[in-house]
Amino acid sequence: GAVVSQHPSWVICKSGTSVKIECRSLDFQATTMFWYRQFPKQSLMLMATSNEGSKATYEQGVEKDKFLINHASLTLSTLTVTSAHPEDSSFYICSARDRDTGELFFGEGSRLTVL
Amino acid sequence: AQSVTQLDSHVSVSEGTPVLLRCNYSSSYSPSLFWYVQHPNKGLQLLLKYTSAATLVKGINGFEAEFKKSETSFHLTKPSAHMSDAAEYFCVVSYNNAGNMLTFGGGTRLMVKP
């Protein structure tokens, strides 16, 4: 079946540094990818919609300068958490929509811990 | 507007007994409904989906769900729980399959006792 890969799956960084998380669709092309944030024992919260070749669309309350999203190709979107702080520690999950079938697939998630 | 409510944040069953995870939705339009499972520190895996075809939907790992429009419910069931079913389950409603139109329930943590 279709696979969406996230890398890294775990990352620990110091406060003030930036962290990049990659989301790749491995066997399909995705014009649209989505980034979610999940706090412990809570549901997923949509952060932004990433469109290939154009600017991301951010949900209300999500700082676009804090969470930089780039969707440079039909198989890759990246989320960069800039100047990370402990409150940015969370589980980040991406999903990708198959351009041909319209089906949505989720990545395995990336756990960010900011010290 | 659409919303989805998972009535139980935690459900505990014994191995081999039936599982019932409840979900109610509200939607102004004919919704698509999904159940996803999430194991610890993992992404979401689709269990099953309803998209206006048969009201009883069969999914993977023996799970099934029944769409009941009159009750605005989409409860998830399994006849016999297995230890490997212990996970977090999310009921999701959408007008379409676009990720920006998904509304997630709060999740139900299923615990399976030996």
Give residue-wise pLDDT tens across range A24-51. 999 999 989 999 998 887 888 999 998 8
Q: Does residue A101 belong to the interface with chain B, where contact is any CB pair within 8 Å?
A: no
Give residue-wise pLDDT tens across range A64-88. 999 999 998 999 999 999 999 999 9
**Four-CA torsion A56, A59, A63, A68, nearest 10 degrees:** -20
More confident residue, B43 or A112: A112
Q: In whole angstroms, what is the distance from residue B63 CA to residue B37 CA?
A: 11
What number is the average pLDDT over the span A106-113?
92
Integer CA distances (angstroms), A110 to A3, A11, A20, A22, A90, in order = 15, 8, 10, 9, 8
Residue B96 has pLDDT above 70, yes or no: no
Q: Cβ separation of A109 and B41 shorter than 8 Å?
A: yes
Distance from CA of A83 to the nearest CA of B (A): 24
**At A89, is the pLDDT very low, low, confident or very high (cuts 50, 70, 90)?**
very high
Q: Render the burial of B22-55: b for 16+ CB within 10 Å, e for the rest.
A: bbbbebeeebbbbbbbbeeebbbbbbbbbeeeee
With vertex at residue B74, the alpha carbon angle to CA B71 and CA B76, rounded to the nearest 5 degrees, is: 135
By Cβ distance, the residue of B98, B100, B105 closest to A43 is B105
In sign, the C-alpha dihedral spanning B73, A44, B44, B81 is: negative
